[in-house]
Structure 1
Amino acid sequence: MLKKVAQLDENLFLKLFNGNSPLWLKNSALGLSKSGNGGLYLVIAFAVSWLGSEQELLAVTLLLGFLIERPIYYIAKNGFARVRPCDCLVKGAYIVPGDKFSLPSGHSAGAFLVAIILAQYFPQLSVVWFLWAVGVAASRVVLGVHFPADVVLGGLIGSSCGLAAILVVGYL
């Protein structure tokens, strides 16, 4: 069963990753991927903490979300130890990944964690937050450094940790 799922995941990756992608797609994917590197999250947390007491809760929720998510991510990443597609399936990923394992995607986890929390505090922009998170996740496949299942699991981890942080902060 797992072998069939892995084969399906590889086949889907090969349909989505194209070593000859058009320049606009490469550049879009690079921009989206970079927006999920982590620096933007710090800017958001610091910026909103200056907006008032209501928004300070947003910064606390983001911090708590990442304090929950990061250990889970690192344990899963090293536990699964799945080799990246650019190291076992194709040559020519568009970026050099920061580590050697692919499952789960940390960019996807971070983006969905932030999207869930921002949607809680700014629900009128929920579509924007989730489109951005999906874009970050998809960019990791387009760039050749993650399988589709990596970004799905990363998104689930990030979403769950974001919801947990919202619940905890709501009880404080």
Structure 2
Amino acid sequence: MRTIEPIAKLDLAFSLFCLQHRFSYPLSRLSKAISHTGDGHLYAVLGGLAWWMDGERGLMFLLVGLLAFTIELPLYWMAKNAFKRRRPQELSELVTSFITPSDRYSLPSGHTAAAFLMATLLSFFYPELDTFAFVWATLIGASRILLGVHFLTDVVLGALLGLGCAQIALTMLAGA
């Protein structure tokens, strides 16, 4: 446990830096809006629209997305319950949480994992959306930190989880 202690200290220091400034409250409103786009409803809509509007490519986008989320969700829940990392506001009374998280533990960030999974799929099937997709996914990860519900490493590991699950699904179904 001592090997991760410096990382945990850095995580807490970064969270305090992000959350203890005069812009925290106004920034939390924008962060809530950005974070809400990663709640999951948008992914289903994107998959359905792609299938409806883009024929075979859209159907493949939907199928690869379903497979990727089928892989990602159990891994996410197993990691959450294996690490049992407490959220920032539980570790320091100096950390303000601007929302109530949907589950108890923080590692990895599920919102970030899902956003990077979707960004990876969008960039594969619709390369013209590449920059937008990854900027959006990064903003979702940043919003989770700015809302006080995740540490930086939660977001980084969430992004890696999403990227990895998307790549596995792409390899299995799309031959990528």
Same fold (TM over 0.5): yes
Match of 1:126 in 2: 130
* TM-score of the superposed pair, with normalisation by structure 2: 0.92
Alignment equivalent of 1:82, drawn from 85, 109, 121: 85
Alignment equivalent of 2:29, drawn from 27, 30, 42: 27
Match of 2:5 in 1: 3
* Amino acid of the structure 2 residue aligned with 1:149: T
> Identity over aligned residues, as a percent?
37
Q: Secondary structure at the match of 2:98?
A: coil
CA distance in 2, matches of 1:23, 1:146: 17
5+ residue gaps, structure 1, are none
Mapping of residues 1-172 of structure 1, within 5 Å:
1-18=3-20, 20-51=22-53, 52-89=55-92, 90-171=94-175
Total equivalences in the alignment: 172
CA distance in 2, matches of 1:24, 1:6: 27
User: Once the 2 structures are TM-superposed, how far is the Cα of residue 23 of structure 1 from its aligned partner?
Assistant: 4.9
Equivalent residues of 2:19, 2:95 under 8 A apart: no
5+ residue gaps, structure 2, are none
CA distance in 2, matches of 1:66, 1:19: 36
User: Once the 2 structures are TM-superposed, how far is the Cα of residue 88 of structure 1 from its aligned partner?
Assistant: 2.0
* Amino acid of the structure 2 residue aligned with 1:58: F
* Amino acid of the structure 1 residue aligned with 2:109: S
* Amino acid of the structure 1 residue aligned with 2:37: S
CA distance in 1, matches of 2:7, 2:30: 29
Equivalent residues of 1:19, 1:93 under 8 A apart: no
CA distance in 1, matches of 2:113, 2:129: 19
Q: Which moved more, 1:12-21 or 1:118-127?
A: 12-21
CA distance in 2, matches of 1:103, 1:70: 13
User: Once the 2 structures are TM-superposed, how far is the Cα of residue 140 of structure 1 from its aligned partner?
Assistant: 0.3
* TM-score of the superposed pair, with normalisation by structure 1: 0.95
4+ residue runs of structure 1 moved beyond 4 angstroms?
Answer: none
User: Once the 2 structures are TM-superposed, how far is the Cα of residue 72 of structure 1 from its aligned partner?
Assistant: 0.5
Q: Secondary structure at the match of 2:23?
A: coil
CA distance in 1, matches of 2:103, 2:89: 12
Q: Which moved more, 1:5-14 or 1:142-151?
A: 5-14
Q: Which moved more, 1:52-61 or 1:85-94?
A: 85-94
